[in-house]
Structure 1
Amino acid sequence: MQTLNIIGAGQLGKTLGRLWHQSGLFRIQSIHNRTLRSGQAAREFIGAGQACPTLQSMPVADYWLIACQDSEISALAKRLSKRPDNREGTVFFHCSGALSSEALDILRPASIASAHPVHSFADPLRSLDSLPGSSVALEGDGPATRALGGAFNAIGCEIITIEARHKSLYHAGSVFACNYLTTLVDLSLRSFAAAGIERGSALKLLAPIVLQTARNNMTLGPEKSLTGPIARGDLDTVSNQVENLISVDPQMARCYRHLGLACVALAQRGPLSEKSATRLIELLSEPPR
């Protein structure tokens, strides 16, 4: 069985480590986190491996999962390049959505790759069940991507391949759908709070419509899923909402207006008339008064 070392076993690293350990695909060999205590906690979650206090104390391995913060990957690769591991046949890969495999160039002649699971790892226990079925965006050297494609397939993930030069645009797409969606829910809760609706009731109110909207978008596409005042060309409603949001929180009003302009562009791919679109664009482009 091939060995795997994990550097930065946080939510993602713990989830992958445990799934690969349980599948018998890798022997989890060692784990290095910022603190030994954190590494030991990760080892307990994964159920295998040894927590190592330093990078230098980690044994040689066939595969290295680098799951630290994006800003630390290049520096970490430089440190790893001083070890005897960066030899042909070894695979180093990171799971950053924003960085390409080129961040690990210094580790050649080892094979390098980036493998980004399109999944929210907020809770590792939940991710053990929900990660299978998710997609993983993979790019890098042929030997590394072929091996990692098989490793992710073994735990139920689908593979999509991308080019290194498109990694940033790919990740921006993920940010829109995941991170910005979370921010939109927060903006919605803030607007409900201003209307006197407490958080628990607002979340209960939102859950069905948010989940149904997500399902509609995945099955029908955005053009057929868009509803609401902008899709209807309801200028009075949009104007009233902008004015009320300005009085509560100008930042929320700015978000409403900027997103509204994108919404108009989407609605124009549907039944929204050119006249209504022009009037909505004028309204939403006006600076807050």
Structure 2
Amino acid sequence: MRSLNVVGAGKLGRTLATLWHQQGVFEIAGLFNRSAASTREAQDFIGAGTAVSDLNKLPHAQVWLLAVPDDQIATTAAALAPIIAQYQPLAGKSPMLFHCSGALPASVLAASDADLLASAHPVHSFADPKRSLTDLPGSTVALEGSEEVIDVLEPAFMALSCNCIHLSPSQKVLYHTGSVLACNYLTVLMDLSLQVFQAAGIDNKSAMALLEPIVVQTVKNNFALGPAKALTGPLVRGDVATVARQTEALRQLAKSNSTTNNDSDTTSDIQAATLAEIYRALGKAALPLAEKAGLSQDARRQLQSIFDES
């Protein structure tokens, strides 16, 4: 069993380390976070590994996971260079290093001076590590980098019942952008929807209760039928009057907030203006899809005119 050091045992790092420990894939060696308390919490969560308070105190390991934020990967790799060089003669070869950024290639780890580099991005939301322990299986992991490292990581993720795909460095940014649009921005749309409900006098708890069934069903429809057939609502029906009223309602909301709050609450002003802008932008983006679903050319022209108004 190969040993694994985890640098950045946050939500993602501690989830993977826990699952690999439970499945006997890796022997968890060292754990390091910037906060000593956070490192101890990770150790307790994983149930294995040695918590260290200094990068230089990390033990020798055959595989190193850098689960730090994207903008810290290169600097962390550089900080590890002398440590890895110290252990390399003991192992007889360079250890394997990988990160879990979806947008950055394995080469961002080059400052570590290690030869065997890879990236492994699980397409999964690690918002709650406890949930991820049971929800991660079935997720896809995008692998890129040294074949020797991928030959180790692919069976490691497959042991967690994950599927794996292989990417080139040039594919990563757009691949990750696609993931962000469908996952992260879905969450943003939920928040914007709740803001509109709040403006209508409906509290968040009630709004969430009424949204959950239709949002879940919409997601299911998209995967079962495809976006064109899953799209419903006033755009597909060509209900120009309804779209015009909704657009005007958001415009008036922004105007009302600005008049009422003046300079006392600029955040509310920005949110209301953003709601109207995003509604129009999404409406424009949806028109080709609505046309595939049966929207007439005449209705499309009228809707385009509404969305083009500022």
TM tier, shorter chain? over 0.9
Instruction: Say if 2:268 is the partner of 1:263.
Output: no
Instruction: Say if 2:295 is the partner of 1:272.
Output: yes
For 1:65, the equivalent position in structure 2 comes to 65
- 1:102-151, CA deviations, whole angstroms, 9 ceiling, x for partnerless residues? 11123355211111111111111110000011111111111111210110
SS at match of 1:30: strand
Equivalents in 2 of 1:106, 1:74: separation in Å?
7
**Do the aligned partners of 1:13 and 1:67 also contact (CA within 8 Å) in 2?**
yes
Instruction: Say if 2:234 is the partner of 1:229.
Output: yes
C-alpha deviation, 1:53, in angstroms: 0.7
For 2:258, the equivalent position in structure 1 comes to none
2:187 maps to a residue whose letter is T
For 2:265, the equivalent position in structure 1 comes to none
Instruction: Say if 2:134 is the partner of 1:129.
Output: yes
Equivalents in 2 of 1:143, 1:273: separation in Å?
54
Equivalents in 2 of 1:39, 1:232: separation in Å?
55
Equivalents in 2 of 1:109, 1:24: separation in Å?
25
For 1:152, the equivalent position in structure 2 comes to 157
Instruction: Give TM-score, length-normalised by structure 1.
Output: 0.96
For 2:32, the equivalent position in structure 1 comes to 32
User: Relative to total residues, which structure has the larger helix share, 1 or 2?
Assistant: 2
Equivalents in 2 of 1:173, 1:99: separation in Å?
14
**Do the aligned partners of 1:7 and 1:33 also contact (CA within 8 Å) in 2?**
yes
For 1:217, the equivalent position in structure 2 comes to 222
Equivalents in 1 of 2:63, 2:299: separation in Å?
57
- 1:146-199, CA deviations, whole angstroms, 9 ceiling, x for partnerless residues? 210110000111101111111110111111111100000011111111111111
Equivalents in 2 of 1:109, 1:103: separation in Å?
11
Equivalents in 2 of 1:80, 1:185: separation in Å?
40
Equivalents in 2 of 1:108, 1:233: separation in Å?
59
Equivalents in 2 of 1:32, 1:92: separation in Å?
15
Instruction: Say if 2:194 is the partner of 1:171.
Output: no
Structure 1 residue runs without a partner (length 5+): none
Instruction: Give TM-score, length-normalised by structure 2.
Output: 0.90
Equivalents in 2 of 1:142, 1:39: separation in Å?
31
Summarize the alignment of residues 176-187 of structure 1 with structure 2, pairs less than 5 Å apart.
176-187=181-192
SS at match of 1:122: coil
SS at match of 1:9: coil
For 2:261, the equivalent position in structure 1 comes to none
Structure 2 residue runs without a partner (length 5+): 254-271
**Do the aligned partners of 2:96 and 2:114 also contact (CA within 8 Å) in 1?**
no
Equivalents in 2 of 1:4, 1:266: separation in Å?
47
C-alpha deviation, 1:269, in angstroms: 2.2
**Do the aligned partners of 1:88 and 1:111 also contact (CA within 8 Å) in 2?**
no
Q: Stretches of 4+ moved more than 3 A in 1?
A: 85-89
SS at match of 1:275: helix
**Do the aligned partners of 1:131 and 1:157 also contact (CA within 8 Å) in 2?**
yes
For 2:19, the equivalent position in structure 1 comes to 19
Equivalents in 2 of 1:256, 1:109: separation in Å?
48
Alignment size in residue pairs: 287
SS at match of 2:205: helix
1:79 maps to a residue whose letter is A
**Do the aligned partners of 1:31 and 1:49 also contact (CA within 8 Å) in 2?**
yes
**Do the aligned partners of 2:97 and 2:114 also contact (CA within 8 Å) in 1?**
no
2:158 maps to a residue whose letter is N
